[in-house]
Amino acid sequence: MTEAHGRFAGKSVVVTGVAKTNGIGYGTARVFAQEGAELAIVDIGDAVHDCGERLRELGCTHVTCHTADLMKADQVQRVASEVLAQHDKVDVLVNNAGLVLYGTEEEVRSFQDLSEESWDFGIAINLKTQFLVTRAFVNHMIERGYGRIVNVSSVTGPNVANPGESAYCAAKAGVLGMTRGLALDVAKHGITVNAVGPGWISTGSSLEGEQVGALNTPMGRGANPEEVGRLIAFLASDDASYITGQLVVIDGGNTIQEYKGPSDLYY
């Protein structure tokens, strides 16, 4: 599966949030593996080791697995030290971890019923994680004069919103703001920083309502995780060397349509 002549041959890539084989993180790791990358995959759950074994079975010969609570600075720094010790360098960082802790479900609650604890958790898992992980690697990239950082935001927050998801919306909008601020801070150091905004994605976490929403996109389906992974890989490649500080939406055209009901009733 790993190709010596791929776009990422000789590149070391860190991907967070890789504990589900049907999620965006694993799909993204597969894409990078297909293009020759050396991988370091990170998640809070021990299932990250199973994902690493699957990648090895597919031919990715150099993949290391790391567990950490990315909301805790000391654990993030430990993982960063492990990764640099085992890979010597980091060329690409993909901040995908977020939404919920592995093995739990998202809390959906109206803003007026949202506790301070729930708000803080939503911001921490979706925004602080990306801040801490990026901070742990960005100085290394600055010293080397090269780096590609891709943050997984969402259309939810920067473009649209859902009821009961105020904290998530705020955090994902914050990811975009952080992306743009960081892009300016590191642009002269050979580092690009971009964000992707997925819409309805068909993952193991998709709820029934999300699956119905995906069916009512212009394309009539949700994206598969590797479609998101291919966009992330493009932004992380030298093909995107003059793109920075951008949010690239991948939602099958959903946010550009006004009518979002069954298409046979309108078009």
**Residues that are catalytic:** 168
Please say whether the beta carbons of 138 and 147 come within 8 A. Answer: yes
List C-alpha distances in Å: 175 to 62, 109, 150, 251: 30, 21, 11, 18
Please give the Cα distance from 74 to 69 (Å, whole number).
Answer: 9
Rounded to a whole number of angstroms, the CA Rg of the chain reads: 18
Please give the Cα distance from 104 to 112 (Å, whole number).
Answer: 23
Exposure string over 33-53, b if 16+ CB within 10 A, otherwise e:
bbbbbbbbbbbbbebbeebbe
Please give the Cα distance from 8 to 168 (Å, whole number).
Answer: 32
Please give the Cα distance from 221 to 34 (Å, whole number).
Answer: 25
3-state SS, residue 261: coil
Please name every residue paired with 110 in a beta bridge, in sequence order, or none if there are none: none
Q: At which residue do the structure tokens 């993952």 appear?
A: 203
Q: Find, among 246, 16, 45, 33, the residue nearest to 131 by Cα.
A: 16
